[in-house]
Amino acid sequence: MAAEKSSIKIITLIAADGSVFEVEPNIVKEMKTVQSYIDELDQNTVSIPLPNVFGNDLAMIIEYCKKHASEEETKEAKEEFDFEFVKRMKSDDKLRLLQAASYLNMESFLQFMAKAIAAEIENQSVEFVRDYFQIESDFTPEEEAELRKENEWAFK
């Protein structure tokens, strides 16, 4: 495979705001967007601009990848980390990280974020969800009333 032939030792990731992160190849394995780029190269170092990811978010993603790429960490320690990782995030952080995961094509991190967001909106009201995702309803009041009536059982 190209990945094994690659001689890259250090990868420099440049976030949207210009902040720079130097990481080892095993950290970016989960980032398919980055990995497919470096697979093509045959050099020691590489700089990759990530114009859709902000520095703070990239720092968090790298922290997550490091923990999960580590072979010394136990499964329990990783779970504990995941729990704390989500706990210190605001809703906006989760939404941005989900989008970053999508842009970087990080399958398991994307699942992880989607699950965290789902847990936050489960059993919440329609109004809460609109606020959460910054969605303006495009139903007329009559249409919405009709829909609510039709699905009355779910609102009990």
Partner 1 sequence: MATPTPTPTPSSLTPVPAQLPEVLIAEILKRLPVKTLVQFKCVCKSWHKLLTDPIFTNTHLHFTTPTRIILSRYFKSFLSLPLHPNPNPNPNPNPNPIELPLSLNDAHTYYVKGHCNGLLLLIISDGTIILWNPTIARYRTLPTPSNFKETREVLGFGYDSSTNDYKIVRAPSSYCKLMLKDYNPQIEVLSLNSNSWRKLPEAETPPYFIEHSQQSFYLNGAVYWLTLDDFCTLILRFDLAKESFARVPPPRDDIGRNMSWIGVINDSLCVLHSHQRSYFDIWATRDDFNWEKMITVFKTVDPEPCFSYLDYAPLCFVETGELLMSIRRKGLIAYDPNEQCCRIIALLEDARWLQETVYTDSFVFPEEPSEVDQTGSSSGALTRVISQMLLGFSNAFMSRFAYRADSS
Binding site for partner 1 (CB under 8 A): 16-24, 27, 54-56, 58-59, 62-63, 66, 92, 95-96, 98-99, 102, 110-111, 114-115, 117-119, 121-126, 129-130, 133-139, 143-144, 146-148, 150-151, 153-155
Nearest distance, CB of residue 43 and partner 1, angstroms: 19
Measured from the CB atom, is 1 or 155 closer to partner 1? 155
- Burial category of 53 from C-beta neighbours within 10 Å (exposed 0-12, middle 13-18, buried 19 and up): buried
Minimum distance from residue 85 beta carbon to partner 1 (Å): 15
Contact 38, 28 (CB under 8 A): yes
Nearest to partner 1 of 1, 153 (CB atom)? 153
- Per DSSP bridges, beta strands 45-50 and 20-23 are unpaired
DSSP tag of 71: S
Q: Which is nearer to partner 1, 77 or 135 (CB)?
A: 135
Burial of 85: CB neighbours in 10 Å, binned 0-12, 13-18, 19+:
middle
Identify which of residues 24 and 42 has a Cβ nearer to partner 1 in the complex: 24
